[in-house]
Structure 1
Amino acid sequence: MPTTVEVLADAIKASGTDFIVGHPGGESVELMEAARERGMRFMLMKQEVAGAMLAATWGDITGAPGVCLSTRGPGAANMVNGVAHAALDRSPLIAITDRYSAPEQAVGLRQRIDHIAMYEPLVKWGTTVDARVVRQQIARAMRTAIAPAPGPVQFDMPQSETTKEAGQMQVEPSIMPDTLYPDPDRARLRKVVSAIDAARKPVLLVGLGTFWDNASDEMVKLAETLGAPVLTTSKCKGAIPEDHPLRAGCIIGGLIERKLISEADLIITIGLDAVELQPKPWPYTTRVISLANTPSLDGLVPAEFEVVGNLKSLLAALSDQCSGGSSWGEKSAATFRTDVINALNTPAKGLSPQRAMEVARATLPRETIATCDAGASRLLVVQKWQSYAPREFLTSNGLGSMGYAIPGALAARIAHPDRPVVAFTGDGGFMMAVAELQTAAREKLPITIVVFDDSEIALIRVKQELKGIDRYGVGIGGIDWESLARAFDADAAVVETENALQDALANARHTERTTLIAAKIDGSGYVDQFNALREL
């Protein structure tokens, strides 16, 4: 009969995830061995937080929960930030933490932390693995992790349970059930259809729920039916191809999008999760219709109608039932895009971050997948990089954690081994994940990393300047990028001009090695850009 870890490994593989990542402890080795016997991959990460971010991003891209693990005590504590990312960025994840067996846990002190209590505020469900019911536990974990809104589940795995014979069930639960959604009732949609048809200038605000139901195509069709401009959250870049004439840009919770949204006579939010928005009161008095796959519990968006259901079915039904809209969408979207470009075109001495992004998008292939770190440069990456399909732009937005871009890029490379992957990060965010360069080399996951080297934590410097505080405590600088890359068996280029950046990116396309490109930028325009786009 199979053991506990064999049941877990079988379930993980059956879900569509054929690897586990993390930094293991003594209690993890039996699970690793069970995975190896099933042809699964184990990737040793250098930091537990990076492992959790990688696994969470795999969950974003594929819909199957990523799986990460850590040793007890310090490993479990270090993994918290990665699990927090999965929680606030709505990523399906199963996080496994080693634990002493029950007698040692009851009386021991060394490396003993109450993992369940520590993770409880962050996870959708946490439990201690028990061989007698492990089949039911893993089935519940899979369903909980992927159910809207997706998120993390935590397993505490005592040493005593790993090789015990797993309990039997008369009927074993399905790991990833095939869920069917009936078509919406046309009569019950009549009020919503009437409200939409009455609008002359509707605007769509699109959030993560659109991805959870694989409803991007249906969202675009509704936008085309209504002639409505589309604003997405930063996590939803690519939900509408960003060269589509109705694509306006990204919601960043700032001043610049208020002109467009305030001109609308109806706001239709689609799968919008409040965690994607800035923590500010809703600034619009315009009528709102919410289309969502989970009810809103926070009350942030004051919707007159809230229609809850599978978005793929719901949006298709609305496209069929709504009459054609006005032609205001393309013009208003184009005006918004121009306003953003003008706001970002600040003067610079040397290579500006905005021009660096324009060069990168012009040089890299259309099918490139991009990841983006938190920091001052994120504002520019979000606005300047264009994505053309769902989940081709990956970032930490709900948590907004630095150190995301590199593990996120590794996940993208695993999911799409034949497509180019680029990670955009500041020098501060890069240093938080620098050890994973070794993971990229060892696991043969070549990625291109573009580091915006401004020798500082620029976002904090911007806030200091806006508050009239002298620059202090934010300097980095002095990094020998080429030597650093060489130490991790990666290629490197240090660039200071647009032409040099273009050449470095082009060269990186033709190698199967990780390439680190340090772009020496002038970030002096950040303050004006933030003032133009968003209140701080």
Structure 2
Amino acid sequence: MTAPRTVRLTTAQALVRFLSRQYAERDGRRHRLIAATWGIFGHGNVAGIGQALLETGPEPEHGMPFLQGRNEQAMVHAAVGYARHSGRLSTHAVTTSIGPGATNLVTGAALATINRIPVLLLPGDVFAGRPADPVLQQLEVPHAGDVSVNDCLRPVSRYFDRIGRPEALVPAALQAMRVLTDPVATGAVTLALPQDVQAEAHDWPEEFFAERVWPVRRPRPGTAEVEAAAAAVRAARRPLVVAGGGIHHSAAEDALRAFADATGIPVASTQAGKGSLRHDHPADVGAVGHTGTATADDLARAADLVIAAGTRLSDFTTASSTLFQDPGVRFLGLNLDPHDAHKQAALPLVGDARESLDALREAVAGYRVPAAYEESYGKAKAHWETLVDRAFHAPDEDARPTQAQVLGALDALVTDEDVLVNAAGSLPGDLHRLWRARSPRQYHVEYGFSCMGYEIPAAIGVALADPGRPVWALVGDGSYLMNPTELVTAVQEGIPLTVVILDNHGYASIGGLSEAVGGERFGTDYRHRALDTSYTGDPLPVDLAANAASLGMTVIRARTVRDLREALAAARSAGRPTCVYTETETPDTVSGPPPAQAWWDVPVAETATRTSAVRAREEYDRQAAARRRHL
């Protein structure tokens, strides 16, 4: 018997070579699975993965392009932005040293896993050979010698392994690729790499480095499930589709549009599902849930069948289980994940979103909602658009803009090609309610983890995935201060994204929530201390525009609505990393966006001495009484 041919490489060299030859395939199209590796080097990875990246080189075919980051969490966010915009068919790897570099990955890993976005994490780890205890940055656990700080990545990873010997890399790497390409189980995948093992040489079978294609499956739902789902649709008089992120992940937008066209069933969208239909499609009724439109939320309250298509039915979507109020409401769970398909005691339709929608459309051929229902939600949709126009309108071009007017200025400027990236603060609520999504990839709001600081690095990831597309990172001052460092990366790489900083001098979103729950905006304003030691003095003299300029960005200050329109247009055509900075005005009841159309459960103090908290608890008890379990 002829011995298998081998190649002598270090573990790190073998891993990089293996990763450069992995592909995902869906619908007959191949995509390089790991398109590049982000890294910040320290003693835990510089001599292993760092040397391997240098030796492999950046060739696009079988090399490994390298991207230099400034913050480990931000590198994961950039990889997530890239992977989400790539339809989860391609992603990046992220390498760090052991210690603080590795633990900085935890927030990004949690974000990736919660949003079900694939990203590969390669943190260095302590010596497998235990030459000394402790080595630098080693966590000593007296009762468990095999624990390192990387173990904090276990609960936020969909797959975790520590490569204690070179030969252990082969099964671990294959399992990692399986999880990255699994449309249900995907998320953060962590391979912890002891620094001595990274540099250790081994004879690797050549077959390990052969090109390998991982098919991304599109399972069809079972015939009996389709028949039961079709019967439920045919029996419905007031059905509503709630479109979630699974529509985008499955590239099922055309299938959803065909289903809506054929049946007349209105389509509401979650944060992750926004853009599943164009905003001007007759069946698109906008956002649903706590940050939803009056049109969608009123339809949800009256719906007798909710078709939950590719959504996890989170608390924001269900208004903390108070939204769907029809006594006989039923749920149809159209989802690839059986866990999600069965939520709310739903009738399950387990399968790929595109395949399931097509099968359901064929099974209900000839069904259409009552004409009066279509006419009613069409009128409600048109009325909501007048409210959006009012919020976007700026009667005084020389006044400071409100946040909604900033969105209005963008709405008047962008085309189908533009992508808006956001994650936290009050912007996600305004965007969900007000933004007119023109294309499936335009609305990129991360709201599974709602992570402050996601916006700038994720926008870089989007721009890397789709060069030439205008990309906007919309950030409040709180989010900007959390993580501005990747602006340096944008400048270094010449990535022409535009960062729009909306400065309202504090954590305004949580300030508003605090006021609503009796917290009186405690600790949410960016101000000097007053004589009573509270943060109620003058606003802090922080100049975020100057900060962005110091990091290499071209900065345009916009003091008025007129300035803002000119600045946004200039930034869009600048061709280099640009920042538009504006201070926003607090809206009044006329110029502001419509308030929340549904409740959200944020528990209020059950006993308190301050009047604001007592009144807030009374309102909480009133709203919570509407909560129900759908059985």
TM over 0.5: yes
1:139 aligns with 2:182: no
* Structure-2 residue corresponding to 1:160: 196
Question: Is the contact made by 2:81 and 2:460 (CA closer than 8 Å) also made in structure 1?
Answer: no
> Could you report, residue by residue, the CA deviation over 1:347-394 in whole angstroms, capped at 9, with x for unpaired residues?
997411111101112112321011013001221122233333333322
Which residue identity lines up with residue 97 of structure 2 in the other structure? T
Instruction: Name the structure 1 match of 2:40.
Output: 23
Q: Structure 1 residues 233, 337: CA separation in 2 closer, same or farther (over 3 Å shift)?
A: farther
Q: Which moved more, 1:368-377 or 1:279-288?
A: 279-288
**8 Å contact kept, 1:234–1:250:** yes
Q: How much does 1:261 deviate?
A: 1.1
Distance 2:216 2:279 in 1: 31
Distance 1:26 1:468 in 2: 49
Q: Which residue number in structure 2 is paired with residue 55 of structure 1?
A: 79
Q: Aligned to 1:153, what secondary structure does the other structure show?
A: strand
* Residues 234 and 330 of structure 1: CA distance in aligned 2, closer, same or farther (over 3 Å): farther
Q: What residue is the counterpart of 1:94 in the other structure?
A: 120
Local SS of the residue matching 2:339: coil
Which residue of structure 1 aligns with residue 158 of structure 2?
124
Q: Quick check: 522-531 or 499-508, which moved more?
A: 522-531
SS of equivalent to 1:140: helix
**In the alignment, what sits opposite 1:314?**
356
**1:331 shift after superposition:** 4.6
TM-score, scaled to structure 2: 0.78
**8 Å contact kept, 1:87–1:152:** yes
- State which drifts further: 329-338 or 413-422: 329-338
Amino acid at match of 2:300: I
Q: Which residue of 2 aligns with 1:267?
A: 306
Whole-Å Cα distance in 2 between the matches of residues 166 and 84 of structure 1? 35
Check if 1:479 corresponds to 2:529: no
Q: Which residue of the other structure, out of 443, 452, 475, is the alignment partner of 1:425?
A: 475
The amino acid that maps onto 1:77 is T
The 2-side partners of 1:20 and 1:230 are apart by 38
Q: Quote the offset at 1:463 in angstroms.
A: 2.3
CA contact (8 A) 2:333 2:340 kept: no
Tell me, yes or no, if the aligned pair for 2:129 and 2:196 is still in contact at 8 Å. Answer: no
Match of 1:189 in 2: 226
SS in 2 for 1:452: strand
The Cα of 1:170 is off from its aligned counterpart by 6.7
Structure 2 SS opposite 1:307:
strand
Distance 1:222 1:276, change over 3 A: farther
User: Which residue does 1:237 correspond to in 2?
Assistant: 274
Q: Shift of residue 474 of structure 1? A: 2.5
SS in 2 for 1:27: coil
User: Which of residues 565, 575, 582 in structure 2 aligns to 1:512?
Assistant: 575
| Residues 130-164 of structure 1, C-alpha deviations (whole Å, 9 max, x = no match) | 42032321221122123114211111111122232
Deviations 1:99-124 (A, max 9, x none): 12213387316412424421111111
How far apart are residue 395 of structure 1 and its match?
Answer: 2.3
Say whether the 8 Å CA contact 2:291–2:430 is kept in structure 1.
no
The residue type paired with residue 487 of structure 2 is L
Q: Deviations over 1:68-100 (max 9, x none)?
A: 122111111122111111121211111111112
3-state DSSP class of the match of 2:501? strand
Q: TM-score, normalised by structure 1?
A: 0.91
1:302 aligned onto 2:338: no
Q: CA deviation at 1:399?
A: 0.9
| Paired amino acid for 1:5 | A
Inter-partner Cα distance in structure 2 for 1:491 and 1:171: 47
1:219-230 paired onto structure 2 within 5 Å: 219-230=256-267
Other-structure match for 1:248: 285
- Mark the CA change 1:135 to 1:471 in structure 2 (over 3 Å): closer, same or farther: same
Q: 1:502 corresponds to which residue?
A: 565
Instruction: Give the number of the structure whose alpha-carbon radius of gyration is greater.
Output: 2
In 1, the alpha carbon distance for the partners of 2:579 and 2:500 equals: 6
Give the deviation of 1:299 after TM superposition: 6.1
Cα pair 1:133 1:167 within 8 Å, conserved: no
* Residue 281, structure 1, aligned to residue 333, structure 2: no
- 1:389 is aligned to 2:439: yes
Alignment-mate amino acid for residue 240 of structure 2: V
The whole-number CA distance in structure 2 between the counterparts of 1:389 and 1:175 is 33
Q: Is the 8 A contact 1:494 1:520 kept in 2?
A: no
Alignment identity in percent?
23
Aligned twin of 2:111: 85
Q: Give the whole-Å Cα distance in 1 for the aligned partners of 2:130 and 2:156.
A: 26
Q: Which is helix-richer, 1 or 2?
A: 1
3-state SS of the aligned residue for 2:102? helix
Alignment pair present for 1:521 and 2:521: no
Q: How large is the Cα RMSD of the aligned pairs? A: 2.8
What displacement does 1:198 show?
2.2
Displacement of 1:517: 0.9
CA drift of 1:197 comes to 1.9
Contact 1:208/1:271 (<8 A) preserved: yes
Matches within 5 A, 1:302-381: 302-303=345-346, 305-323=347-365, 324-326=367-369, 327=371, 328-329=373-374, 331-332=376-377, 335-336=380-381, 338-339=383-384, 342=387, 350-381=400-431
State the 1:482 CA deviation. Answer: 3.9
**Does the 8 Å contact 2:95/2:123 carry over to 1?**
yes
Aligned residue identity for 1:263:
A
Deviation per CA, 1:439-478: give whole Å up to 9, x if none: 1101111211111111111012212322444444323343
Count of residue correspondences:
535
Which consecutive residues of structure 1, in runs of 5 or more, have no partner in the other structure?
A: none
Amino acid at match of 1:56: V
Q: Which amino acid aligns with 1:21?
A: W
Q: Deviations over 1:214-236 (max 9, x none)?
A: 22221221122211111111112
Q: 1:52 to 1:282 in 2, by over 3 A?
A: same
Question: Which ranges in structure 2 are unaligned for 5 or more consecutive residues?
Answer: 1-6, 24-31, 59-63, 140-147, 527-539, 603-631
SS at match of 1:518: strand
